[in-house]
């Protein structure tokens, strides 16, 4: 797909690729971008295309409208369970969350308004999260007699710790953007009007990295989380060796060293 071209045919998403950054917008603003079965299927299609696109170096995920990034899942659809065999087949064929986590490119989430239930779970599948100062985060599943079904009970504690996660999961306590920043749920908080420009600059910075380097960082951190320190150090060493055998990485290193040497030799300002 050429830069700037928007993929058509989606009912719940907008997809655009500008230069080497892919933009995915949850596009059900009239329903607070609630995650439904159609969105699941369309996200699966888009994320698969992004994963396999060598021209995409970074991804931005955001929500349409002024009120919400994503206010949760459409439980009227997801709680109407199909027969067990069909449910297993659909889950296997449409594992959106596993696909999110398998993306080799860095993914940045732009979070505003309501970030609830599946909204938090989707954001936690991203690598960096920027929130506007009006964002509110919550996991209301327990009040409905269920628990998170898209990984929230696992990804949230790995991000903000056990105690804070249990408080949110058991009591349906919502937190604002500043508390989310303090807890480590988001990386930055900015004013509402600055959210998209900030995320776009960040995505552009990530996209400018040599793709093998950005992907190696993701792999090191993601895989290393389940390894012992020594196993993680061994993996890191192998990743470095792999990078140093990659022509594009060697070229980028040479260019950066040359540019840095030039700066050091510039005469001091008068």
Q: % helix / strand / coil in the chain, to the nearest 5?
A: 50, 15, 30
Comparing C-alpha atoms, which of 198, 226, 202, 225 is closest to residue 214? 202
Residue 219: which residues within 8 A CB-CB, separation 6 or more? 104, 239
**Neighbour tally for 12: CB within 10 Å:** 21
Choose the catalytic residue: 19, 77, 93, 121. Answer: 121
Please tell me the distance from the alpha carbon of residue 25 to that of residue 195, in angstroms, as a whole number.
14
Please tell me the distance from the alpha carbon of residue 188 to that of residue 184, in angstroms, as a whole number.
9
Catalytic residue check, 141 = yes
Choose the catalytic residue: 30, 93, 141, 167. Answer: 141
| Catalytically annotated residues | 121, 141
């Amino acid at each position: 797909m050429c830069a700037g071209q928007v993929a058509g045919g989606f009912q719940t998403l907008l997809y655009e690729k500008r230069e080497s950054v892919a933009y995915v917008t949850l596009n059900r603003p009239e329903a607070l971008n609630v995650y439904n079965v159609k969105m699941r299927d369309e996200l699966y299609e888009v994320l698969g295309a992004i994963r396999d696109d060598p021209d995409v170096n970074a991804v931005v995920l955001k929500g349409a409208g002024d009120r919400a990034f994503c206010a949760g899942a459409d439980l009227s659809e997801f709680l109407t369970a199909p027969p067990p065999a069909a449910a297993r087949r659909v889950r296997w064929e449409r594992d959106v969350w596993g696909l999110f986590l398998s993306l080799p490119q860095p993914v940045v989430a732009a979070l505003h308004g309501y970030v609830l239930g599946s909204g938090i779970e989707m954001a936690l599948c991203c690598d960096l999260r920027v929130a506007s100062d009006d964002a509110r985060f919550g996991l209301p599943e327990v009040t409905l007699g269920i628990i998170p079904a898209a990984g929230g009970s696992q990804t949230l504690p790995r991000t903000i710790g056990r105690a804070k996660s249990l408080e949110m999961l058991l009591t349906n306590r919502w937190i604002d953007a500043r508390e989310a920043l303090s807890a480590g749920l988001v990386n930055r908080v900015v004013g509402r009007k600055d959210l998209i420009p900030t995320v776009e600059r960040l995505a552009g910075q990530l996209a400018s990295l040599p793709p093998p380097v950005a992907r190696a960082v993701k792999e090191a951190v993601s895989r290393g989380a389940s390894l012992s320190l020594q196993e993680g150090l061994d993996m890191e060493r192998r990743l470095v060796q792999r990078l140093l055998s990659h022509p594009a990485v060697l070229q980028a290193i040479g260019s950066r060293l040359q540019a840095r040497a030039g700066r050091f030799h510039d005469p001091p300002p008068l």
